[in-house]
Every structure is written in C-alpha cells, then in structure tokens.
Chain A
C-alpha cells in the first residue's frame, strides 16, 4: 500500500458520502456547501489515486477488502449532526496531517499544500456548525452530542501510523485532541468518554477491514462501471 492510496481512499469515500446529501440538505446554502466539500475531496482523491495508479481502476474495480480508507469516512450520513460530527473529526485531522505533509519533501507535498487550503475551509464549516448545533436548541444539542459520541470509537484510527508516511502521529493526536476539546467546550458539548479504538476499528480500515455499510456503498458506486467492462465514459 502506498500512502497516496490510503489518503486517496479517505477522500474518495467521504466525498461519496457527502454526495448522497445532494437534494436532501436542510437549507439551500448547505446544498452548495456540502457539494462544494464533496467536490474538493473528490479532486484530492483523483490526484492521490493517480499517484497510486489509474484513478478509475482503483475506484471502481477494487473490492471492499482492498480499500484502505479510514472506517470513520465510510460511516453513513445519519442526520445532519452526525454528518457534521464526522466532518469535524476528519477535517481537523486532515488539516493537521496536510499541514505537516505540505512542508515535507515527499511526493505528497504539492497535493497537501493545495489541499490544505480547501481543508481549512472544510474545518471552518464543520466547526461553525458544531457551535450552532451544540449551542442552538435542546434538540440540536442532543443530536450533536449523539453524533460525536457515536463516531468517537472510529477516531483512534486517525492516528495509527500509515505505512510509508512519516508523520509525528502521537503529536498530531495530541494537537487534534486539544483542538476538538476546546471547540466542544465552546459549543457547550462534552468530549466523548468511551474508547477511541476497538478490535475492529483502530487500523482496521487501513488494513482493508471495513464496517458493514461500506460494501453496500461500493456496490452502488461501482455497479455501472463494472456492468460495462472496458468501456470508456
């Protein structure tokens, strides 16, 4: 596995999940924002997968056990708060990682330098909504806390070392925790208390061990491409 494949799969899969929101968002501005983020991520995925091979072959012709994305990004959208919790955990992580990679000398540096601008917008979007929902109404507060709690167990994997990717994982985890803690406090929310990892979570996605909803997602994503072997589109 190359690091480009792991990071490319993260972007590809999260982009797909966000694409499922099209036409379903709570306000028109969010139709635009969620599609915008999905497009940025798809753009990142295309560059990263192209570093690892042929983007369409990698996206459409691999099976579930060959995908290297984090389990976090494959989680179904749930309600808007659940989606925002997923965005918050991922975008803070991605910005920290890309910030680090942008200054490194690897083949990922140029992509990271470009993507980090997009990622800081994604993070801002997730943070603003975490504040609004956390410190909005009782209902939104409850839903936001529920989303954060439900996804917490997938966050340990974010800082499992990725083969071939030199990053200060422990320090990134500390920084991530500091930022998330501070934000949740402002949003009147509580940092989830449960474990951040479990037998099938930490490192599972990177090894091709995924959660059940992922196979169904791939079936939908790949079916047309696979129905016409060798065709170009």
Chain B
C-alpha cells in the first residue's frame, strides 16, 4: 500500500473531477474507500428490499381474485427477483459477493426498506403497494439513474422502467376497487389509510437527522434531499388520490399557495425508528422466512455446485 500512497492525491483529484463533470465512476476506477462502502451499503440495502419486498405481495398470489390480476401479480414478483439480481450484480462490481451480502441480510447486519415490515391484510393492499410504495420508490429511484456510480445508475434505468409499469398497475387495481362495490371501495380506502404514512417514511428521516445525506449528495450518489423527495411525492399523490375517489388519511393536508406545495401533517418518527430497529409488525416474520428459504435451499445449491464440479461448466 505504501507504494501507491504517493499517487493517491492525484487519483482523488481525478475522481473529484469525474464526479464534478457529472461523468460516471466505473468499477476499475479509483474511488475513496468511504464512497465504495457507502455504495455497497446502499445498493445491498436496495437489493435486499427487492427480495424481502417479494413477500408481502407473494402473500396474495394464491388468492388473487381474477386470473388477469394473478398474472400481473406473479409477473411483478418475478420482476422484483430480477431487480434483486441486477442490484446484487451492481454491488459485486464493488468487490463484494452476493453470498456475503445475503449473509449480512440474514444475520441482520444489513437492512432493507422498513416498508416491507408492514402486513398485507387485504387484496387492496396489493394495489396500495403498487400505487404508494412503488410510487415512493420511483420518486427515490429516478434520480439514481443519474447517480455517479455507473453500474448502479444503469441498473436503475432498467429497474425504473419496470417499476413505473407496476405503479400504474397498482393504481389501476385501486381504481377498479374504488369504482366497484361498496365493500371493494371500503377495502381500497382502508388499504390507503394503512399504507400512506409508511410510504412517506420510505424517504428516510428528515434532512436534519439523515446521517449519510450530505456526503452522498457531494458524491452525487444522491441528487435530492429526503424532505425534497417526500414533498415531491406528496404533491404527486394528492391529485391522484382525488382521481381515484379515495382520501389520504391526513387532516392537515392542504395546498399552500405561497410555497406552491401541499402542506402535510407530522410523521410519527417514533414508529419509523421502532420499525427500523426491528420492532415493526412483520420484521421477525420477513427475516425468518427469508432465512428459512435460504436454509431449506442449501442442499439444492450444494447439489448444483457438486454437479458442476463433476461435469464442468458445459453442463450447467
């Protein structure tokens, strides 16, 4: 290491100039250790969220009320597994491995989005997840398509295309319920009531409590602050809720002419931190199920490896 130390300031200058010029950092480029570890943490957490996020929706695959809806939901859950795969690959370009990251997920050393610790209690929850949860994810992720790290930015371009499709499908599902029978309308409203606040929490803590924000923005990993994105999301959702014929569960929600934005009520940050710490309604269930799938599948992975060792790659 001492032999390359004298060059480091020069390398860092190249890195800084690349970021400043809005060009992409690629896997073989020099990058600060902290930039690398921040990206590994963020991409891994993003990948884990896709994988854990399959569970609340898969919960309804076997009960989907029409074959069309069932096909849409299966396709969506399949896309999520695919997104997980893209993202683990993007993380691997930074010198880690999928196995290592999954191990960190299973042992609780890396997190996933707190939203997936809420239960899907009715069919309408599938729609609310599509509209609100995927909507919030897209608001967060579209700016990541311009993230300074090339492999992550490119993964996000592909993911955002599919996510916006899911989001429209969720909206359309809620629309069908909202305009359906009284019971269906009530089901849709109840789901929106339960998912609205957790969706707003998806943007993370308020700007003054966000640990990594300033550095991530300087490195152009992040392009907008948590509160900016949250505001953008609220502004998008209010007219959509109106078009759906559903209300958002916030008595303080009003248009602020002066700001040109909707004002909204206070978020229950105690709940946010509690869920993040592992005390949400489904934290234990989600991680146990993931661990169980992994453990139950160990013999299958061992078989594939043993077979490949015997027969070489041609047979794989």
A contact set with B: CB distance below 8 Å: 12, 16, 19-20, 22-32, 35-36, 38-39, 42-43, 45-46, 49, 55-56, 59-60, 79-80, 131-133, 135-137, 139-140, 143, 220-221, 223-225, 228, 230-233
- What's the nearest-Cβ distance from chain B to residue A131, in Å? 7
| Interface core residue of B51, B62, B294 (most chain A CB under 10 Å) | B62
Given known contacts A26-B296, A28-B81, A233-B65, what 8 new A-B pairs fall within 8 Å (CB)? A26-B294, A42-B70, A46-B67, A137-B306, A224-B65, A231-B181, A231-B183, A233-B173
Q: List 10 A-B contacts (CB under 8 A).
A: A22-B58, A22-B61, A32-B85, A42-B67, A56-B66, A59-B67, A136-B306, A137-B299, A232-B66, A233-B173
**Do A231 and B184 touch (CB < 8 A)?**
yes
List CB contacts (< 8 Å) of B207-251 with chain A.
none
List CB contacts (< 8 Å) of B293-311 with chain A.
293-294, 296-304, 306-308, 310-311
**Do B65 and A19 touch (CB < 8 A)?**
no
Which A residues are CB-close (under 8 A) to B132? Answer: none
- The proximity string for B residues 64-103 relative to A, scoring 1 for CB distances below 8 Å and 0 otherwise, is 1111111100110110011011001000000000000000
- What's the nearest-Cβ distance from chain B to residue A34, in Å? 9
**Do A29 and B181 touch (CB < 8 A)?**
no
- Report if B171 contacts A (CB, 8 A): no
**Do B300 and A140 touch (CB < 8 A)?**
yes
Count residues of chain B with CB under 8 A from any CB of chain A: 51
- The proximity string for B residues 29-72 relative to A, scoring 1 for CB distances below 8 Å and 0 otherwise, is 00000000000000000000001001100100111111111110
Supposing A80-B297, A137-B302 touch, asked if A225 and B77 sit within 8 A by C-beta, the answer is: no
In the complex, residue of chain A having the shortest beta-carbon distance to the beta carbon of B177: A233
- Report if B277 contacts A (CB, 8 A): no
Which A residues are CB-close (under 8 A) to B307? Answer: 131-133, 135-136
- Report if B180 contacts A (CB, 8 A): yes
**Do B67 and A28 touch (CB < 8 A)?**
no
Supposing A19-B62, A20-B62, A131-B307 touch, asked if A140 and B299 sit within 8 A by C-beta, the answer is: yes
- Report if B202 contacts A (CB, 8 A): no
Which B residues are CB-close (under 8 A) to A80? Answer: 297, 300
- Report if B289 contacts A (CB, 8 A): yes
**Do A28 and B85 touch (CB < 8 A)?**
yes
- Report if B315 contacts A (CB, 8 A): yes
- What's the nearest-Cβ distance from chain A to residue B295, in Å? 10
**Do B84 and A28 touch (CB < 8 A)?**
yes
Alpha-carbon separation in the docked complex, A12 to B289 (Å): 26
User: Which residue of the partner chain, among B54, B63, B74, B180, contacts A223 with CB atoms under 8 Å?
Assistant: B63
Supposing A43-B71, A133-B300, A136-B303 touch, asked if A26 and B293 sit within 8 A by C-beta, the answer is: yes
Alpha-carbon separation in the docked complex, A16 to B63 (Å): 10
Alpha-carbon separation in the docked complex, A25 to B80 (Å): 14
- Report if B19 contacts A (CB, 8 A): no
- Report if B282 contacts A (CB, 8 A): no
Supposing A133-B303, A139-B303 touch, asked if A23 and B58 sit within 8 A by C-beta, the answer is: yes
**Do A36 and B78 touch (CB < 8 A)?**
yes
Alpha-carbon separation in the docked complex, A60 to B294 (Å): 33
- Report if B272 contacts A (CB, 8 A): no
- Report if B195 contacts A (CB, 8 A): no
**Do B304 and A136 touch (CB < 8 A)?**
yes
User: Which residue of the partner chain, among B61, B81, B302, B310, contacts A19 with CB atoms under 8 Å?
Assistant: B61
- Report if B123 contacts A (CB, 8 A): yes
**Do A137 and B62 touch (CB < 8 A)?**
no
Which A residues are CB-close (under 8 A) to B176? Answer: 232-233
Alpha-carbon separation in the docked complex, A47 to B297 (Å): 34
Which B residues are CB-close (under 8 A) to A19? Answer: 61-62, 70, 74
Supposing A36-B78, A140-B299 touch, asked if A56 and B67 sit within 8 A by C-beta, the answer is: yes
**Do A22 and B54 touch (CB < 8 A)?**
yes
Which A residues are CB-close (under 8 A) to B293? Answer: 23-26
Which A residues are CB-close (under 8 A) to B69? Answer: 233
**Do A27 and B54 touch (CB < 8 A)?**
no
Alpha-carbon separation in the docked complex, A140 to B304 (Å): 9
Which A residues are CB-close (under 8 A) to B65? Answer: 60, 224-225, 228, 231, 233
Alpha-carbon separation in the docked complex, A223 to B67 (Å): 14
- What's the nearest-Cβ distance from chain B to residue A39, in Å? 5
Which B residues are CB-close (under 8 A) to A23? Answer: 54-55, 58, 77, 289, 293
